[in-house]
Structure 1
Amino acid sequence: MRRRWSWLLALTLVSAGACFEPDHGLIPPAKPVELTSGLSSGDVFEVRVFGEAEVGGTFQVQEDGSIVFPLIGRVEVIDKTQAEIAGLLEQRLADGYLRDPQVTVVLTARENFEVSVLGEVERPGTFGFVEQMTLVQAISDAGGLTEVARVRRVRLTRKTDGGQKTYEVSVKAITDGREPDILLQPGDIIFVPESPI
């Protein structure tokens, strides 16, 4: 009889442990990211000049913080916003090249503005960060969870004021509607471990 009670107690503890879910309240909120802040080296943007299709194009900010633009040559763009770059190009193009140029700058990729999704997902890798990106969205971008994913013990590694820290997240609690989805910030790493059973 004692052996039977011991077995039932052990089974209860195992079941409780299997259903235990981490406290999402321990995760610090994502730091706000201003995607329109000044550009840095490695960023890629597209320039469109109204009525002058051959003048625009796609440009990547070089290590020295500049691009080489048709007609006007080297242009310093480091730490400038898209609107500031457009204004600068309009000014330089109007200086003897084009009459009343109208320039649009569209940011297409930001260096180091990425999140990584690793482990038990269909397509592990690094994905471009977008504004209001969430943990479930990032997992979806990685093709979703595999059949052996441990959905109650997903690990989120984030840079905080106290250094890099790792937190446990229950994706099951989020998809069931018991917890809100978690906003991400650039540099976050999501690791989905394999279920022990």
Structure 2
Amino acid sequence: MPQNRPGWAASNACPDKLLADGAVPPNHVPMFNELPVPLSPGDQLDVRVHNDAALSGSFSVNMDGTLTIPFLKDIPVLGLTAEQAEAKVAKALTSAGLYRASTVRVSVKLKHWATIQVSVAGAVFQPGRSLVGDRKPDGSVDQDLGDSTPGRYLSYAIKGAGGVRPDADLGKVRLTRSGTTRVLDLTGIFTGSAMEDPPIMQGDQVFVPSSGCIHSDLVRPSQITPPGIRVFLSNLTQPAASNAQSAISTQATNVPYGTRLLHGAISANCVGGIRLTNASRSVVLATTNPITRQTEVIERSVEELVRSKDRDLINPYLLPGDGIACYDSAVTNGRDVMRSLLETVVPIPVVRSVTGW
């Protein structure tokens, strides 16, 4: 039997908001100076050595994190900024005896960031490898030099993993690089206060812990939540014999993140019509508890949803992959039962001649 209310929304609701509007997260320390944009394998650099075309050109960082330039030994640049790589190239030129330290002039500029893979785990909808900083489908680059690629930041990696679940603890997000872990506060994405969104590099590991309770503040579109979700709708109520007859299209099954059950029922055309026969229709929601990952099934009457539209326990938020099914009212069910009995006991032609059906 369906439950009276979803466990994840009923017993796991967080008592407090993330932060008061406009508040600054506690212990906020800007980290942009500590974590400059680092180079990763595949990043493309424009290297210019003054008056030397043989040593100048476009070079990509190798998979082992080195930069290969003609006549020089491979230069390790993994995790460095373009400015630090410039100093490394200048030193390699002098070490090879090609230039003196006083005369070498080198320019290293970023041409294009490569797509990188970052591991994202914890309270996200799709944990695993997240592809960050992907190019356009045709592989084109927006600029000749200095492509900033905003996708190479922490928030993009989290969104690439499906976004955070409602139980995420955004004040304790962990970013691990080369064995060193930093704890970051991303609550500012939802509160508008100062926050940290550091750049990331190939091999970084991100962990979003669970708070053990549900933050309704997180159930809305944002930088680190889904812009929209796909739900599965089924409406075979009278007089429809299929979802097509209920006008359930692909557009109806794609709703903004933060949509509640009542709006999902409206998308499935479960709401409306003759009040006497349709008001007591019921809606069944099959959802997955984001904390326990167990499937839960609840049932609501349409009338109950309309009366208590602002109560989380009655009208819960929809999550990715939820399923909604509509059932006819008791009046419609009784009418169908009577019709079936009549068709079984009395021949159909006789019924039609007497009743005019």
Structure 1 length normalisation: TM-score?
Answer: 0.45
Higher relative contact order (CA 8 A, sep 6+): 1
Structure 2 length normalisation: TM-score?
Answer: 0.30
